[in-house]
Amino acid sequence: MRSTFWLCSCLVVLLAGPLVLTAGAQGAGSKESSGIITDVSSTSVTIQLSKGGTKSNQTFTLDSNTQVIARGATKATKGQGRSSAAALLAKGDTVNVFYLEASGALRATEIRVTKKAQK
């Protein structure tokens, strides 16, 4: 009986674990925008949105908790310690930005580079 309970508990943890991990940066209250980076600095990133032919910009603040997911990011920053988000982003990159809005400010929690800019 005890071993069955233990086995069931392990299965629940194994099955639910990935769900908890994927909710991380995209947690409760998180919003998403997609666009092309028009400006990037160590503290912010601006993207150009294109919805139905209308173009507008959104600027997001970056901090030490902002996660950047990009192909080759691990190799590019190997041995450099924790790299800033801005070091992995470039003008012209196509991105999905997950963010939280508080007091009119948009704070990026996760930025996924879906297409790198042409060099």
Helical spans, DSSP H, in the chain: 2-22, 73-76
Fold of 27-115: OB fold (Dihydrolipoamide Acetyltransferase, E2P) (2.40.50)
* pLDDT score, position 6: 45
* pLDDT score, position 80: 52
pLDDT more than 70, % of the chain:
68
Domain boundaries, the chain: 27-115
Model confidence at 83, pLDDT cuts 50, 70, 90, reads: low
Cα angle for residues 113, 73, 28 (degrees, 5° grid) = 55
* pLDDT score, position 38: 97
**Which of 69 and 75 is assigned the larger pLDDT?**
69
pLDDT for 26-62, tens place per residue?
A: 567 889 999 999 999 989 999 999 777 788 999 999 9
pLDDT for 96-115, tens place per residue?
A: 999 999 898 999 999 999 99
